Chain A
Amino acid sequence: MKFKFIEEKIAKSVMIVFALLVVGFVVNIIYTILRRGLPALNWDMISKIPEGGYYNGGGGGILNAIVGSLYIVLGSAFLGLLFSIPIVFYLNVFLKKDSKFAYIARLAFDVLFGIPSIVYGAFAFTIMISLGMHTSLGGGILVITLLIIPIFIRSMDEVAIQLPKDLLDATYALGATKLETIKVVLLQIAPGIATATLLSVGRAIGDAAGVMFTAGFTDSIPTSLSQPAATLPLSVFFQLSSPNAAVQDRAYSAALILIFIVLVISITGRVITNRFSKNKI
């Protein structure tokens, strides 16, 4: 056999092994969570807030953390989209391809992308102190918004940067102003917006460090933005820190719920985008 065919066979096997390795990790993680979490999972877990002594094996559930996490994720995803769509639109439609400002802005977003969430948390915390704010749902939403805006922008930008020039020209040629092209642009980059949202939501719901100082933790469900809020990752953390094995198992159940929520959001997101992106050219 010719060398180049052997080469191809080896390369292909390497790819398959690596792919299986990654899939193996995921399967292993999910298996561990299922093995320890599933037996501990019961209706009380998702329908009740912690009762007295919950973290020492008492009754109740983690509804506080589920609701808190959903509030923070939905709030920050909404705010994140609200801020990042105009930015991406400005970068790609209003600025010329080789604009210096666009270059600097993109660089800044890349740097922000890499900043760990604990730094965002600490940064937001100092601001909150100077404003006299307490740990609260509002604070948590703000810091997670800050955390995911760079993810939103960079992943949407990667798609928007490939907007066909002809498409914009065709729209301008009809007499559209730059702003009026927004419908065309949004429809064209809809899959990018979906991917960005899913990435952001995944990051937002899994983040523990950012919300630790800002949203705090509580056993009750917040009823206003100024009350502290519990989150699933912190709930996992607190339960896992317990010396009691039964409570540790509950941490795995909480992780299971977390993964399930991410899964539901991802699938819904995909279905919605497929509806919107059917027109993409």
Chain B
Amino acid sequence: MTSLIYKNPTRASWAEDYSFLNNNIENREGLALKKSYLKVSDLNLTINKTHILKNVNLEIPDKKITCIIGPSGCGKSTLLKTFNRLIDDTEGVKYTGSIWVDELNIFDPKTEITEIRKKIGLLSQRPCPLPMSIYDNIAFGCKIHGEHNRKKLNKIVEEQLKAVGLWEEVKNRLNTPASKLSIGQQQRLCLARGLAVEPEFILADEATSALDPISSKLIEELFVELKQDYAIILVTHTLRQALRIADHVIFMYLGEVIEAGPADEVFNNPKQELTQKYLEGAFS
């Protein structure tokens, strides 16, 4: 299975192809060294006066897999949707506090929301390919950010499909509808589509829960592969998945962050009683 996974080239070598994404090329070349940064301070979020997230303070480590765990309804997905402000479309939502992505406060009215979302890729629970061909699914993001050069697009499509191990499977049918792919392939396509706009973070909301075990394993392996270049934030219901791949763990309960820290510490030596109970399976 691992043989399918294409070794990512270093970011620096991509810089030329992706220069359209950021005019600041000099800056891009140093990206491999640059730290991506996501910090949440005093985040409170209410939906129609229901307090969903309570005083959340977090830091997401770069180039690691961070798993957010916790029982259903504890606000994991809401927190994830707040990171790229997809939560804005929810009726009656109000938030206070701040989330810093690199040097931008995402709640600042002056911050361009599309800029934030470009930095933060999203992989949803069910694969959601765009109603287009396989090729256009990947090219769409680049096109909306201004890249229309066919040659460059071809290159990006090939690279990203290789990065998710899909190239060999689809290279002869790039113009067929993405909906014709199997569900596992669709999810990898969605991952590739997100990678094509060169994010710094990847958010995954239970991205493997709708998949068969083999596809699910493949996605997990991809995450491990991709953490060299991206900070990956994973919401998961499967504790075992978190145990397998997490470097950093955040445990949430009823909208509060109960415990956060390196996976080893949280799993083997939880400081909070609640965390201990959750890990023992006392509730889920």
Question: Roughly how many angstroms separate A278 CA and B134 CA in the complex, as a whole number?
Answer: 12
B71 at the interface (CB under 8 A from A): no
Contact between B117 and A184 (Cβ–Cβ < 8 Å)?
A: no
Residues of B within 8 A of A164 (CB): 128
Main secondary structure of the interface of A (DSSP, over half): helix
Contact between B118 and A174 (Cβ–Cβ < 8 Å)?
A: yes
Residues of B within 8 A of A170 (CB): 122, 124, 128, 130, 190, 193
Within 8 A of A (CB), among B59-81: none
Contact between A173 and B84 (Cβ–Cβ < 8 Å)?
A: yes
B115 at the interface (CB under 8 A from A): yes
Contact between B86 and A172 (Cβ–Cβ < 8 Å)?
A: yes
User: Which of A96, A169, A180, A281 is within 8 Å of B131, CB to CB?
Assistant: A281
Contact between A176 and B190 (Cβ–Cβ < 8 Å)?
A: no
Q: Which listed segment binds A: B34-42, B140-148, B234-242?
A: B140-148
Residues of A within 8 A of B115 (CB): 175
A153 CB, nearest partner CB in chain B, Å: 21
Contact between B178 and A96 (Cβ–Cβ < 8 Å)?
A: no
Residues of B within 8 A of A166 (CB): 124, 126, 128
A279 at the interface (CB under 8 A from B): yes
B86 CB, nearest partner CB in chain A, Å: 5
Residues of A within 8 A of B84 (CB): 172-173
Question: Roughly how many angstroms separate A187 CA and B114 CA in the complex, as a whole number?
Answer: 22
Number of A-B contacts (CB under 8 A): 80
Q: Which residue from chain A places its CB closest to the CB of B117 in the assembled complex?
A: A175
Contact between B130 and A171 (Cβ–Cβ < 8 Å)?
A: yes
B32 at the interface (CB under 8 A from A): no
B125 CB, nearest partner CB in chain A, Å: 8
Question: Roughly how many angstroms separate A280 CA and B145 CA in the complex, as a whole number?
Answer: 23
A48 at the interface (CB under 8 A from B): no
Question: Roughly how many angstroms separate A176 CA and B129 CA in the complex, as a whole number?
Answer: 15
Contact between A169 and B144 (Cβ–Cβ < 8 Å)?
A: no
A188 at the interface (CB under 8 A from B): yes
A13 at the interface (CB under 8 A from B): no
Contact between B128 and A167 (Cβ–Cβ < 8 Å)?
A: yes
Question: Roughly how many angstroms separate A41 CA and B180 CA in the complex, as a whole number?
Answer: 48
Within 8 A of A (CB), among B150-200: 177-179, 190, 193-194, 197
A91 CB, nearest partner CB in chain B, Å: 15
Annotate B74-111 by CB proximity to A: 1 below 8 A, 0 otherwise.
00000000001010010100000000000000000000
A177 at the interface (CB under 8 A from B): yes
Contact between B144 and A280 (Cβ–Cβ < 8 Å)?
A: no
Contact between A279 and B177 (Cβ–Cβ < 8 Å)?
A: yes
Question: Roughly how many angstroms separate A187 CA and B137 CA in the complex, as a whole number?
Answer: 12
Taking A173-B86, A174-B117, A281-B131 as contacts, is the C-beta distance between A180 and B144 under 8 angstroms? yes
Taking A174-B140, A175-B114, A175-B141 as contacts, is the C-beta distance between A169 and B122 under 8 angstroms? yes
A97 at the interface (CB under 8 A from B): yes
A180 CB, nearest partner CB in chain B, Å: 5
B18 CB, nearest partner CB in chain A, Å: 13
Contact between A279 and B122 (Cβ–Cβ < 8 Å)?
A: no
A89 CB, nearest partner CB in chain B, Å: 15
Within 8 A of B (CB), among A242-281: 278-281
Question: Roughly how many angstroms separate A188 CA and B117 CA in the complex, as a whole number?
Answer: 22
B218 at the interface (CB under 8 A from A): no
User: Which of B133, B141, B178 is within 8 Å of A174, CB to CB?
Assistant: B141
B121 at the interface (CB under 8 A from A): yes
Q: Which residue from chain A places its CB closest to the CB of B132 in the assembled complex?
A: A279
A167 CB, nearest partner CB in chain B, Å: 6
B195 CB, nearest partner CB in chain A, Å: 11
Residues of A within 8 A of B129 (CB): 281
A8 at the interface (CB under 8 A from B): no
Taking A174-B118, A175-B118 as contacts, is the C-beta distance between A98 and B91 under 8 angstroms? yes
Contact between A187 and B132 (Cβ–Cβ < 8 Å)?
A: yes
Residues of A within 8 A of B177 (CB): 278-279
Residues of A within 8 A of B197 (CB): 174-175
Q: Which residue from chain B places its CB closest to the CB of A177 in the assembled complex?
A: B114
Question: Roughly how many angstroms separate A164 CA and B144 CA in the complex, as a whole number?
Answer: 21
Contact between A173 and B120 (Cβ–Cβ < 8 Å)?
A: yes
Q: Known pairs A173-B122, A176-B114. 13 more at Cβ < 8 A?
A: A98-B91, A166-B124, A166-B128, A169-B122, A170-B130, A170-B190, A170-B193, A172-B117, A173-B121, A175-B114, A279-B132, A281-B130, A281-B178
Offer 30 A-B interface pairs, CB within 8 angstroms, sorted by A: A96-B89, A97-B91, A98-B91, A164-B128, A167-B130, A167-B131, A169-B86, A169-B89, A169-B128, A170-B122, A170-B124, A170-B190, A172-B84, A173-B86, A173-B120, A173-B121, A174-B141, A174-B144, A174-B193, A175-B141, A175-B145, A175-B197, A176-B114, A176-B141, A184-B130, A184-B131, A279-B131, A279-B132, A281-B178, A281-B179
Minimum-distance CB pairs A-B, first 3: A173-B122, A175-B118, A174-B141
